[in-house]
Amino acid sequence: MTEQRLPRRRYLGIAGALGTVGLAGCVTASSPLSQGVDEATRERYVGVATRVATDLEEWRRRRSGTTRRLAQSDAARNGTAAEQYDWLEFEGERLPADVYRINIVDPNDWTVVASSDPAKQGEPLNTREAPWQTDRLEYGSDDVFVSRADEALARSLVSFVAPVDTDDDRQRRLVMQTSLDELAATFQRPSRGVYSQIVDADGRIVAGTRPIQRLERNDGTLRTYPGGTDATAVQQALGGASGFVAEPAINESDQGGGDADSYVVAYAGVENRAWAVLTHVPQQTMQNG
């Protein structure tokens, strides 16, 4: 298996066929959505989506920094398996709740040689929780690989991976597994009935502020957003825009209320990640301000 260190993929921004959408998004003066909804109210909920997007980018930056710090520590580079276990257990206990597990692995066969979870030591890194292990890992300029989200262990998992430069030239990688479900629970929920979801470039809902039952996170897949990547809000946010739009597909699905006008969507893109943040607002909430 080979690995390639490439610069982190640059964010596409607003350029391209999608163009720029302002705070009003696809809502026009003649649209029913504009009736009784002032610009300040629309701006408020676009601001919610934008704040979540900013928090996601800051989270990615911080977790990448932590992964790099741990990979460069003397314990990771030179410690015995027993010393690394004690150290990883200590680090795991003091990191935020979204950090689920930290492993040091041998990339030749992806065996866990040390872990914050003693039950994982000596076990292979499960392909369901780490399907990226068969790929050529593209490390960013910060020397950290960030995986896409995948459903595993009844969680939406994102892995951060960094090489460990040992003094005796053993090949090792430090893998920090994080739960997007835990992270999403900390995001802003400004009023009753309003909820945000994070959708990736494949149209999958990778996390959201609505609580997700454990059984829903244990079927091996992540649910597809209504309309997938064809949904206007998803397209615009992945293109780098922020705005406010009617999204009939959400109301026609079991995520909406069944009323074609019951929800509208504020959206924003996440810098340097192929994620869209969609904040769903009941139209009645919009009209009441």
Residue ending a domain, choose from 181, 196, 231: 181
Q: How far is CA 256 from CA 6, 127, 172, 203, in A?
A: 41, 34, 46, 17
> For the residues 268-275, what does the mean pLDDT come to?
85
Say whether both 162 and 75 belong to one domain. yes
DSSP, residue by residue, 94-144: HS-TTEEEEEEEETTTTEEEEESSGGGTTSBPPTTT-GGGGS--EE-TTS-
> For the residues 51-71, what does the mean pLDDT come to?
96
> For the residues 106-129, what does the mean pLDDT come to?
92
Say whether both 120 and 30 belong to one domain. no
Tokens of 148: 């896409």
Tokens of 27: 């809502």
| Residue 35: pLDDT band with limits 50, 70, 90 | very low
Per-residue pLDDT at 6 exceeds 70:
no
Say whether both 52 and 69 belong to one domain. no
Q: pLDDT per residue over 142-172, tens digit each?
A: 999 999 999 998 899 999 999 999 888 889 9
Q: pLDDT per residue over 166-201, tens digit each?
A: 888 889 999 999 999 999 999 988 888 899 999 999
Q: What are phi and psi of 248, to 5 degrees?
A: -55, -35
**Which of 87-91, 190-194, 257-261 ranks highest by mean pLDDT?**
87-91
Is-contact 151 18, C-beta < 8 A?
no
pLDDT of 15? 29
pLDDT of 289? 59
Residue ending a domain, choose from 150, 181, 212: 181
Stronger pLDDT, 41 or 21, i.e. the higher one? 41
Say whether both 75 and 174 belong to one domain. yes
Structural domains of the chain, count = 2
Stronger pLDDT, 212 or 51, i.e. the higher one? 51
Residue ending a domain, choose from 130, 150, 181: 181
The count of other CB atoms within 10 Å of the CB of residue 235 is 20
Radius of gyration of the chain (CA): 21
Domain with residue 201: its CATH number is 3.30.450.20
pLDDT of 272? 67
Say whether both 94 and 159 belong to one domain. yes
Q: pLDDT per residue over 212-223, tens digit each?
A: 766 666 677 899
Say whether both 71 and 19 belong to one domain. no
Domain interval for residue 73: 64-181
Say whether both 170 and 195 belong to one domain. no
